[in-house]
Amino acid sequence: MLPAQLTAGQFHAYPPKARQLAVDNVALLQSLPLGFVPFLLKEIILYDWKFPAEQWELNKQLAYLAGLSDEQRQAEMARFAKLRLSPRLEAFDWVNSPGQFLEMLSAHLWATHQTDEFRAASEKYVHKFYASLERPKLPAPRLGIVALGRGVAESRYLLFRKLRRNGVYFNNVNALNGLETLLETVKARAAKYPEPYGHWSIQGGAKMTAPGVTCVSYEEMTPVRRTLTEKMRAAYESPNFNPEILRTMLARMEPQSLGMTGPDRDGTLDRFQLSLLTEGSGTQIYSTTFVQWAAREALRRAQPLTVFARYTPRQKERPMNELLSGTGRTAATDPEGSLIDGDMGAYYTWLNQQRLPGADESRFLVWFEGHSEAVAIAPKLKSNTSDTRAIHMAELLETLA
């Protein structure tokens, strides 16, 4: 089937909001080539579980395409329309399984040497679309906070080497009540600028909850992680094990299959957490990897005003079969190694924050938890400088204003 043959009834299996969105735009979808429309459908079919920022952007993309004249749209889609697709792709149920179709399309483009052409067409389209976006003004500058190094008594590792170049390095921070002060700052921002999924607490240990704050915790997800690793272990030990089969299994997994059920659950957050465990590498096993990936994905997808990420000691490296099965030696933690993980993770978090709208006004703070070292980054702070004065955490936060 080709897009021109689409009908509204073919979206009957979509979730409610996604179905309505597809039906409202069926005429637009009919006008797009097969080499492009499944990319939209992959986003539309998940619409009910997307964050508001993602829904806004998808709505804008559909409006952008619909606002083009027929001639302009044909010109925009010309390179996608010229892709040589196989009868197998045309016969596939790309309406209800757009993700699987795109996997097949990727393999086909590689096999037929059309990948470069497709990439060039995609980049041109994406650049034009984003250039057309007029984003609403943020109610406040974004703030990223990272705490790391819990459990490390003393370290000779030179922390924040990359982040120091972009802000002020403090080496005389009073650590008393530092963690509580950071959490209170997140709470205050959530109360002052209420926004769904606009403020996040991402914890490598126990959950740190607060009104209006989206909370994600590695420790809280222990039952879900165990269920997933059991399924992964069973796949590894199968005589017919195939990495592609495992990848497909993970991609098709639903929250309910991992015990994420209950009338009061947040479907959007459940799907997000599921994606952390099924799409991330090592997020099922290492708390530091989980925190880094969760912060990355929260910034990329939800585009929040506030992110507070806290690294806690991960377990030491062990053979993969022990990690997946939970057998073997008693798990020991590695605070020193986790400190290095967190340092690099903090730098990546800052980079991902800088990719968002309003980056020029954003603020960032990273702190060696329980110790005197921190780096603050803000527009008014001079890059690559040091401050040796004694300072409390509340005062340190004020320097970001």
User: Can you tell me whether residue 184 is helix, strand or coil?
Assistant: helix
* Predicted TM-score (pTM) above 0.75: yes
What would the two tokens of residue 317 be? 């490296």
Rg (CA), the chain: 23
Q: Which one-letter amino acid corresponds to residue 280?
A: G
pLDDT tens sequence across 137-171: 999 999 999 999 999 988 889 999 999 999 999 99
- pLDDT computed for residue 323 by the predictor: 57
- Where b means 16+ CB within 10 Å and e means fewer, 264-273 reads eeeebbbbbb
Q: Are 178 and 367 in contact (CB under 8 A)?
A: yes
Could you tell me if 298 and 260 are in contact, meaning their C-beta atoms sit under 8 angstroms apart?
A: no
| DSSP-based three-state secondary structure for 378 | coil
pLDDT at 53: 97
Q: Indicate whether 318 pLDDT > 80.
A: no
Residue that the structure tokens 């390179």 belong to: 79
Model confidence at 122, pLDDT cuts 50, 70, 90, reads very high
Q: Lowest mean pLDDT: which of 81-90, 236-245, 265-274? A: 236-245
| The pair of three-digit structure tokens given for residue 384, joined into one six-digit string | 């690559």
How does residue 330 score in pLDDT terms, banded at 50, 70 and 90?
A: low
Span 270-309, pLDDT tens digits: 999 999 999 988 999 999 999 999 999 999 999 999 999 9
Query: Using one digit for the tens of pLDDT, what is the confidence trace for 200-229?
Result: 999 999 888 889 999 999 999 999 999 998
Total H helices, total E strands in the chain: 17, 10
The alpha carbon dihedral of 212, 216, 220, 221 has a sign of positive
Q: What is the pLDDT of residues 104-113, one digit of tens each?
A: 999 999 999 9
Q: Which two tokens stand for residue 181?
A: 């002060």
391 strand-pairing partners: 173
CA 229: distance to chain centroid?
21
Q: How much is the pLDDT for 183?
A: 96
Return mean pLDDT, the chain.
93
∠ CA 297-318-260, rounded to 5°: 40
If DSSP codes are grouped into helix, strand and coil, which group holds residue 356?
Answer: coil
Domain ranges, ordered by start, for the chain: 3-132, 143-398
Q: How many CB atoms lie within 10 A of CB 205?
A: 16
Mean pLDDT of 75-87: 95
- The pair of structure tokens assigned to 133 is 């976006």
SS3 for 371? coil
Residue 174 phi/psi, 5-degree rounding, is -75, 115
